[in-house]
Amino acid sequence: MTEPNSKPSSATQTPAAVKRYKVTFLPQNVTVEVDETAYPYGDHGLPGSLLDIALKHNIRLEHNCGGNCACTTCHVIVKEGMDHLSTMQPDEEDRLDMAEGLTLASRLGCQAVVRGDVVVEIPE
């Protein structure tokens, strides 16, 4: 007999929702699907950052400082889904001021954590 205020057993509980997103890297035109529950993929950049995802999927994204927000070589331009990336922190904003080809849609790949579908361009 079940107690009136008892919780269901773990066998009957629903699993947490899987959060899968699509990230497209241009000009390679490569789209990868990522699972937020699998972050981090590696040890460069913030867990789940564009850099973390690119390296996991063998997409070339320079990162001279090792993904520590100390250079601008992982600079990307967000084409779609800016609102699906983590909020830019002051240290990233300060560093981006030095990036070549800076735009209003620029982010550092090592700092921009994916929270939804995005399309980014890796400048040459």
Domain boundaries, the chain: 20-121
Confidence of residue 53 (pLDDT cuts 50, 70, 90): very high
| Other CB atoms within 10 A of residue 88 CB | 15
Confidence of residue 71 (pLDDT cuts 50, 70, 90): very high
Specify whether the CB–CB gap between 39 and 47 falls below 8 A: yes
Confidence of residue 5 (pLDDT cuts 50, 70, 90): low
- Please list, in sequence order, all residues whose beta carbon lies within 8 angstroms of the beta carbon of residue 101, skipping any fewer than 6 positions away: 75, 77, 123
Place of tokens 């994916």: 114
Instruction: Pick 9 or 28 by higher pLDDT.
Output: 28
Per CATH, is 20-121 categorized as 1.10.10.10?
Answer: no
Report pLDDT for 36: 87
